[in-house]
Amino acid sequence: MKTYHGSCFCGAVRFEADGDLSQGTMRCNCRFCRKMRYWEMRLPDAAGFRVTEGRERLADTPRSQQDGVDMHHLFCATCGTRLWTQGNLPQMDGAFVMVCINALDDVTEAELIAAPVFYADGAHDAWWNPAPESRHL
């Protein structure tokens, strides 16, 4: 386990996330993730995530407004950098936080290369299942 430090492009929002890239990352085939080119690391404990600066600069793209799914994609309202996704889904064992790999400041190239990637079938709201096709992700 490592405490990663992350931020947006302009530096207005900063966070800390306790996770382990070697335990896996995720790319998703849903419409939103494909458009945003999301690559995320799910934290083993949602409590292992802390905003250290700029909470007031956050904006949200909530999924819950569309279909009742409690999932929020947070980003910097100033520069637009996608930062993390948080929510609460019974299918994902309750509360979760997944940080965007691109927002991590102190991740090494070696960690990125070695990080396993799970390609999730979010297009069918079945994130725990592998995507039937992943070459485009």
What's the CA angle centered on 47, arms 103 and 90, to 5 degrees?
95
pLDDT, the chain, mean: 91
pLDDT tens, 31-72?
888 888 889 999 999 999 999 999 999 999 876 555 667 888
- Across 79-83, 89-93, 121-125, the highest mean pLDDT is recorded for 79-83
Strands (E), 39-134: 40-42, 49-53, 58-62, 71-76, 82-89, 94-100, 117-121, 126-130
The CATH fold assigned to 2-118 is: 2.170.150
pLDDT of residue 64: 54
SS3 content of the chain, % helix, strand, coil (to 5): 25, 45, 30
